[in-house]
Copies of this chain bind each other. A is one copy, B any other.
Amino acid sequence: MDKTQNLNETNQHGLKTIAYDNQTKSFPEIANLVQRDLLTGGVDFDRMLSTISAKEPFSVMSGIKPSGAYHFGSLLTVQEIIAFQKLGGTAFFCLADMEAYLDSSLPFEKAKKIAVDNIADVLALGFNVERSYIYFQSVEQRVQHNALLFSKFVTLNTLQAIYGKKRSIAYYNSALILVADILLPQIIDGPIPTITPVGMDQLNHARLTRDIVRKAYPEFTLPSFMFHSMIKGLDGSEKMSKSKPFSFFRLDDPEQNIIKVIDNALTGGKDTAKEQKLYGGNPKDCRIFDLFRIGVETDYQMLKKRELDCSSGELLCGPCKSDLKNQIITLRNEHLDKKKYFKEFSIKIVKEAAKL
């Protein structure tokens, strides 16, 4: 796969593939992500696992840009945070409203409203509020303060090389705010290991973060990162994107819309049922299988069975899609019920985070 190639190319930057081996096997929550091919590489990830084994304190740090409802693909990060909470970590969950303002001009008031919906999603998925610190970047003074300080520890050339040549420095400041987010657990709790789950496209950002830590906080533990593979657009495009309505869906979307997007999705099926029975389908390049893999079927044995049944030609696209629709609609309805249940709690959390 391309992915593996990328990992080899970037090995000199401390990135290592994460394999389903003896170390990962001892952490079922992580092993499950690795088996499902969701967690592919990490920086200082094995050290993180040693920390967990030794039952030493650690934090898991991530968040969301509150500019819209979670789509099905982005819920992956939340699964990862929850996995590390279950392993004993304290979760730092950032509502990235400064980033949303600086990159996309999203007004802070609007971000707060959207955050209520995002937090309800997170709670519905099983996020443990007791072991967490949820905050808005625009309210968390330490994040803004450090972002400004960090501008001293990186050259304009480096920022332009990583993020492209931008018209204003807002985008670069936004990146430095994200660096400060990743440092916040250690600013608050002192030098302890932290793990941040990000997409594979954030590798350079991870390296920048570690470079800045080396210069600004040599006494801190270098942050660990784990990279999940990028989820492709359901319509066959390279990534899920608001500009391509058939590339993704949200669990909040009306049932009929979700069905429509699934019906339109790229599959790994052959042109005819006859061919497929003969030669089998290709689950590796099938967005229907991707949906099972990233969240509809979390049981690896069941997922493996589906993969084999497809490859062997036993399972055709029609019944497979039907399975997906049934399961996703059940999942949707359960999720929306849970969100409804958590609505008031979410409002309370957002008010607290906004210091209102």
| Residues of A participating in the B interface, judged by any CB pair closer than 8 Å | 98, 101-102, 105, 138, 141, 144-145, 147-149, 151-157, 159, 166-170, 172-173, 177
Contacts and interface: CB of A to CB of B under 8 A. Distances in A.
Nearest to A108: B149
Contacts of A141: 141, 144
A169 B144 contact: no
A147 B159 CA distance: 19
Contact of A152 (B147, B148, B149, B168): B168
Nearest to A153: B168
Most B-side CB within 10 Å, residue of A152, A153, A157, A172 = A152
B148 A167 contact: no
Contact of A168 (B101, B145, B154, B166): B154
A177 B155 contact: no
Given A156-B166, A168-B156, A145 B151 contact: no
Contacts of A153: 168
Contact of A173 (B159, B166, B169): B169
Query: Which of A98, A154, A167, A169 has the most chain B CB within a 10 Å cutoff?
Result: A169
Nearest to A157: B167
Given A105-B152, A144-B144, A169-B173, 8 more contacts: A144-B148, A148-B173, A148-B177, A151-B173, A153-B168, A156-B166, A156-B168, A169-B172
A169 B171 CA distance: 12
Contact of A167 (B155, B168, B172, B177): B155
